[in-house]
Amino acid sequence: MPRVNWSGPAGGVIARIVRSTLTKFRRDERGAIAILFGLMAVVMMMFIGAAIDMSKWLSARTDTLNAVDAAVLAGARSLQTNPGQPEAAIAAAQSFYAANTRGRLQVEDTITFVTANDDTSVKAQGSAEIKTPFLGFAGIDKMPLVKVSEGEFAEAVVSVGGNSETNLELSLMLDVTGSMKGTKIADLKEAAKDLIEIVVWEDQSVYSSRVALVPFSEAVRIDSNWGAEIASNGPKTVTVGSGKGKTTFYLDEQCFVERKGTEALTDAAPNGQDKIPRFYDTDGACLPSQASIIPLSSDKVMLKEEIDGYVASGTTAGHIGTAWAWYMLSPNWEQRVPVESKPASYSMLTELNSRGMPKLRKIAVLMTDGEYNTQYCDNGVSTSYVSCTLPNGNAAAQAKKLCTNMKAKGIDVYTVGFALGGNATAIDTLKSCASNPGQFYEAENGEQLKQSFRDIALKISDLYLSK
């Protein structure tokens, strides 16, 4: 084969042909890359579009969930301040939701609000979706902002503790005097049980909510043996008068009347001479055995059964009920009540939890249907039978002083008057005992009594969000 002289004319022609061919190949390669870049650009645009859609979805979802949280909390707060008005709670929730979604991206929204759990919580229902134009190329025209089936909506629950990181001790003084017979005692039972259902939560493992029951009439009754450590000794009988005016009063070892001495109007532990006097009556019986003091307990079933057994009888020694409502909350009595019923220290009332709230709340609810009209002489006999110089003042004056001393310890006091009929003395006593004017309630009928108790239960509650 002859050699080619590349520097000659033939070599130049061949070189030109080679360069031309290579140039064509280069041009073909550039076309393939352009096609590849075109395809990649489409894909990149889809990714960018999807990212934009996802960013809008996330923003709208966050705004929606935050708005729902604020709305259900506003609705639940309305339940506290306007109990018995669920419509107002729903309106408040809807108003807050509208205000908090005003600047949100445009979405398809059917979210509404309802009350639940017997009007003690507010929750959202419905759905919200946002359109996704870029993802529409992939067949995804819209995306839900919340997954209703997975329970992503918040529910604002009215709670007296639990998730609120607060312990509760509540003492419930209940009038079971003779004037409460008939429908009034039935109304009281329903109101008291409803309050217990709200304030005693199920899980007591971390934070506890306990209720003490203090039914009273002319005295208070303790059926359990822990009362033996509280009682002062006294004679089996007390005789008053002589001749035909002679009357014998018999000791009831399970019933107690007002204290005497320097600790009469305090919560000092009953020791020595400061123990609590027992009750004397002509038949030696005070309250029926079904109406006994129950120290602090979280057993809702037992508490409700005790209330169901109440029978109305006797006169009105409301100051004695007031004193015992305090005793059941007083840490000074921790050695006098069953171990599981020991009240916590007063110091916990000023200790704060991680939410800046008190670690403990002590609350007394004092309910009566009339004027306190029964007090006792030094011999333990009621002034309903004999006249004497009152060692501690009349019943109303004693109750007011007891309330003043109780509140000074940090106990929050609510009072409820039931069908008082305008009795000025009774109203004055209850208003004086309440921690503030808004914590005195006057109920004229059973429905109002139940609403008063529910109002108290909700007011002492905190709010938390439950998913």
Distance from C-alpha of 173 to C-alpha of 214, rounded to nearest angstrom:
5
Verify that 79 and 173 share a domain, yes or no: no
Is residue 2 a part of any domain in this protein? no
Closest CA to 252 of 218, 229, 212: 218
How large is the angle between the packed helices 395-408 and 424-433, nearest 10 degrees?
A: 20
Verify that 74 and 55 share a domain, yes or no: yes
Closest CA to 460 of 120, 232, 138: 120
Is residue 4 a part of any domain in this protein? no
Residue pair 349/410 in contact by the 8 Å Cβ criterion: yes
Closest CA to 90 of 106, 78, 102, 98: 78
| Domain closes at, from 158, 180, 206 | 158
Closest CA to 220 of 272, 181, 185, 174: 174
| Domain closes at, from 95, 128, 158 | 158
**Number of Cα atoms under 13 Å in the Cβ half of residue 238:** 21
Is residue 320 a part of any domain in this protein? yes
Verify that 222 and 111 share a domain, yes or no: no
Verify that 153 and 166 share a domain, yes or no: no
Distance from C-alpha of 44 to C-alpha of 65, rounded to nearest angstrom:
31
Verify that 148 and 51 share a domain, yes or no: yes
| Domain closes at, from 128, 158, 188 | 158
Is residue 1 a part of any domain in this protein? no
Verify that 38 and 148 share a domain, yes or no: yes
Quote the pTM value: 0.76
What DSSP string describes 319-367? HHHHHHHHHTT-GGGTTTS-GGGPPPPGGGGS-B-TTSSBSEEEEEEEE
What DSSP string describes 285-332? --S-TTS--EEEE--HHHHHHHHHT----S---HHHHHHHHHHTT-GG
Is residue 170 a part of any domain in this protein? yes
Q: Domain range spanning residue 50?
A: 9-158
Is residue 406 a part of any domain in this protein? yes
Verify that 65 and 183 share a domain, yes or no: no
Verify that 126 and 178 share a domain, yes or no: no
How many H-runs (helices) and E-runs (strands) does the chain carry?
Answer: 8, 17
CATH assignment of the domain containing 340: 3.40.50.410
Q: Identify any residues that bridge with 130 across adjacent strands, giving them in sequence order.
A: 143
How many structural domains are present in the chain?
2
The C-alpha R_g of the chain, in whole angstroms, comes to 38
Is residue 54 a part of any domain in this protein? yes
Verify that 145 and 196 share a domain, yes or no: no
Verify that 330 and 399 share a domain, yes or no: yes
Q: What is the pLDDT along the chain (467 residues), one digit of tens a residue?
A: 444 443 444 444 344 444 554 454 455 555 556 565 555 655 566 566 567 767 888 888 888 888 888 888 888 878 877 777 889 989 988 988 888 888 888 888 888 999 887 788 888 888 888 887 766 666 777 888 876 555 666 677 766 554 567 899 999 999 999 999 999 999 999 999 999 988 888 788 888 899 999 999 999 999 888 888 898 888 999 988 888 788 999 988 889 999 988 999 999 999 888 899 999 988 877 876 679 999 999 999 999 999 999 999 999 999 999 999 999 999 999 999 999 999 999 999 999 887 788 899 999 999 999 999 999 988 888 888 888 888 888 999 999 999 999 999 999 999 999 999 999 999 999 999 999 998 999 999 999 999 899 889 888 877 666 66
Tokens at 71, concatenated: 């709305």
Verify that 134 and 182 share a domain, yes or no: no
pLDDT of residue 30: 53
Distance from C-alpha of 437 to C-alpha of 467, rounded to nearest angstrom:
36
Verify that 459 and 343 share a domain, yes or no: yes
